[in-house]
């Protein structure tokens, strides 16, 4: 397949200041998002001096916001890092191939467009009526890993946000029997790539509002004709309903992912239950509540 490079700028070239000055409301929202992104970067070591970050740009609100916020941080951060935006054109019918190159050129960001007809492969292999998202994402991941090597990226940045993380947690709990989700930082199975998610602590509603106020040229995600996985839709609706019933419960869920007690779970690889023995600590009151519970 033909690979097309629309623009490659020197790594030493800094993008110009983006667009006009923000209004006060948008500025406040951007400041909030930058604080959340900056905290994630600091806590999980997502970006280091000398990094070349490959920002995967789909044309959706999340990836646009990710690139936009990283550009601001690039200008303000005490450490030097470079950014390159990468889009995988999967030859979906009706995909407006001009939108991303025109946008990225207008803001002066180095970018690379990779053209691969994964759409035809997915349509050939997946029966009619079944979701294509799983196979499509696997094919896309493989190409993006390869492109990351080609452009010399040290990190691959994805636009997954807090809601994506909680929905994935629910899906794994309910359907795979695993207590896992999308981590802020992940090493690929071959050990050659580091995937980062700087938006890990950002709410989807805030990203939606930010994209609207910034006027990003959004490309619809339904061009392939496939519907979003029904189970993920249900998980999203479930979490929204519980947040409506008990405001703050999703905050508690998200906090729990950073507050794990291995000895109070059942995973023998995380805690050696067989080696657990009696130990006199002299703290008689510690488990007094047990005596108050009905046997």
Closest to 6 in 3D by CA, of 108, 149, 110: 110
- The string of pLDDT tens digits covering residues 147-173 is 999 999 999 999 999 999 999 999 999
Return the exposure string of 32-55: e unless at least 16 CB atoms fall within 10 Å of the residue's CB, then b.
ebeebbbebbeeeebbeeebbbbb
Q: Identify the top-confidence range among 125-129, 221-225, 254-258.
A: 254-258
Q: What is the pLDDT of residue 220?
A: 82
What is the residue-averaged pLDDT of the chain?
85
Please, is 284 exposed, middle or buried when counting C-beta atoms within 10 Å of its C-beta (0-12, 13-18, 19+)? exposed
Cα-to-chain-centroid distance, residue 134: 16
Q: Pairing relation of β-strands 185-187 and 194-196? A: antiparallel
Q: Pairing relation of β-strands 52-56 and 82-89? A: parallel
Helix (H) or strand (E) holding 34, with range, is helix 24-44
Q: What is the mean pLDDT of residues 194-218?
A: 97
Looking at per-residue pLDDT, the higher value among 104 and 280 belongs to 104
Q: What is the pLDDT of residue 3?
A: 36
Closest to 122 in 3D by CA, of 157, 88, 96: 88
Q: What is the mean pLDDT of residues 135-139?
A: 63
Three-class secondary structure assignment of 142-173: HHHHHHHHHCCCCEEECCCCHHHHHHHHHHHH
φ, ψ of residue 186 in degrees (nearest 5): -140, 135
Distances (CA, A) of 223 to 89, 92, 216, 234: 12, 6, 18, 22
- Please, what is the end-to-end C-alpha distance for the chain in angstroms? 69
Looking at per-residue pLDDT, the higher value among 202 and 131 belongs to 202
Query: What pTM was estimated for this model as a whole?
Result: 0.84
Q: What is the pLDDT of residue 15?
A: 40
Q: Strand locations in the chain, DSSP E?
A: 4-7, 52-56, 82-89, 111-115, 155-157, 185-187, 194-196
Looking at per-residue pLDDT, the higher value among 218 and 122 belongs to 218
- For residues 101 and 293, give the distance between their C-alpha atoms in angstroms, rounded to a whole number: 65
Instruction: Using the structure block, give the residue that is written with the tokens 């406040």.
Output: 28
Helix, strand, coil percentages, rounded to 5, for the chain: 45, 10, 45
- Judged against a pLDDT cut of 90, whether residue 215 lies above it is answered with yes
């Amino acid at each position: 397949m033909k690979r097309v490079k629309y623009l490659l700028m020197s790594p030493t070239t800094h993008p110009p200041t983006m667009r006009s000055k923000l209004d006060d409301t948008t500025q406040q929202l951007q400041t909030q998002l930058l604080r959340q992104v900056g905290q994630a970067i600091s806590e999980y070591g997502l970006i280091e001096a000398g990094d070349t970050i490959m920002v995967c740009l789909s044309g959706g609100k999340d990836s646009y916001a990710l690139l936009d916020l990283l550009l601001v941080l690039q200008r303000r951060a005490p450490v030097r890092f470079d950014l390159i935006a990468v889009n995988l054109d999967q030859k979906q019918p009706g995909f407006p191939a001009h939108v991303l190159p025109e946008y990225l050129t207008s803001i002066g960001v180095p970018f690379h467009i990779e053209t691969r007809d994964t759409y035809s492969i997915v349509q050939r292999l997946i029966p009619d009526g079944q979701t294509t998202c799983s196979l499509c994402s696997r094919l896309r991941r493989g190409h993006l890993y390869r492109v990351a090597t080609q452009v010399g990226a040290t990190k691959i940045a994805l636009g997954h946000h807090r809601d994506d993380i909680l929905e994935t947690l629910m899906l794994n709990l309910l359907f795979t029997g695993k207590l896992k989700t999308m981590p802020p930082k992940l090493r690929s199975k071959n050990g050659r790539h580091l995937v980062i998610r700087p938006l890990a602590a950002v709410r989807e509603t805030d990203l939606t509002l930010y994209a609207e106020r910034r006027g990003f040229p959004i490309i619809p995600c339904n061009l392939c004709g496939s519907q979003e996985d029904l189970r993920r839709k249900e998980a999203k609706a479930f979490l929204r309903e519980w947040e409506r019933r008990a405001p703050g419960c999703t905050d508690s869920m998200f906090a729990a992912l950073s507050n794990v007690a291995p000895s109070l779970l059942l995973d023998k690889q995380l805690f050696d239950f067989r080696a657990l023995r009696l130990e006199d600590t002299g703290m008689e009151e510690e488990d007094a509540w047990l005596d108050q519970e009905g046997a």
